[in-house]
Amino acid sequence: MAIVSRKNPLFSLCGLNCCLCPRYHTEGSSKCPGCGGVGFNRQHPSCSVMSCSITHDNVEYCFQCSDYPCEKYKGSGTKDSFISYRKVKDNNARALSDIEGFLSELRKRMEYLDELLQEYNDGRRKGFFCLAVNDLPIETLDEIHSELKSSNAYEPGEIKERSQRAVELVRKKASELHIDLALRK
């Protein structure tokens, strides 16, 4: 496979939000640099989507390909790996209509995730927070952020207590929207 680099490794070629994946936020040898990021070929030497792009239109995003949506996207999103694939079709549709607006929102999601991981992660919540920030609507994340900032959940103290309050709030908001915050295997 040719060495590939992309302008924006935070949002993958196929429509995943790489910057919201637990492996993107991991330290050590299993850290993923995002789609087409520095070292991507070492982490994912046989990425079929990257190979497909190279042999087709060599696009930055699949939705820019003349064959999109191809067979890969029919029925996609039924199983997850490290990150939820539920939003791939929606991500591609939104990015197709307004890539700059979509990327701006993605950066905001990443800021929310960074804050959750820094202030509320008790060492066991990275996957949960990544999933929540990926799958919940941005308006809901805005509400969660505001409520955490205005409540005692943000006060210094025992990380387990802060983490528990944040998790309870996130679960409550997800439940209200009938969103299941679990990876599908």
pLDDT tens digits along 54-73: 888 888 899 999 989 888 88
What is the model's pLDDT at position 2?
53
Cα separation of 70 and 48, whole Å? 13
Model confidence, pTM: 0.89
The tokens for 14 are: 């196929």
Given pLDDT bands bounded at 50, 70 and 90, which one contains residue 1? very low
CA distances from 46 to 11, 43, 50, 134, 163 (A): 19, 9, 8, 25, 37
N-term to C-term CA, the chain: 28
Given pLDDT bands bounded at 50, 70 and 90, which one contains residue 80? confident
What is the model's pLDDT at position 183?
86
Cα separation of 28 and 32, whole Å? 9
Average pLDDT over every residue of 171-179: 97
Of 31-45, 119-133, 153-167, minimum mean pLDDT range: 153-167
The HSE-up count of residue 113 (CA atoms within 13 Å, CB side) is 26
The HSE-up count of residue 70 (CA atoms within 13 Å, CB side) is 15
Nearest to residue 16, comparing CAs of 76, 101, 104?
A: 76
Report the percent of the chain where pLDDT is more than 90.
54
For residue 136, with 0-12 CB atoms within 10 Å meaning exposed, 13-18 middle and 19 or more buried, which class applies? Answer: buried
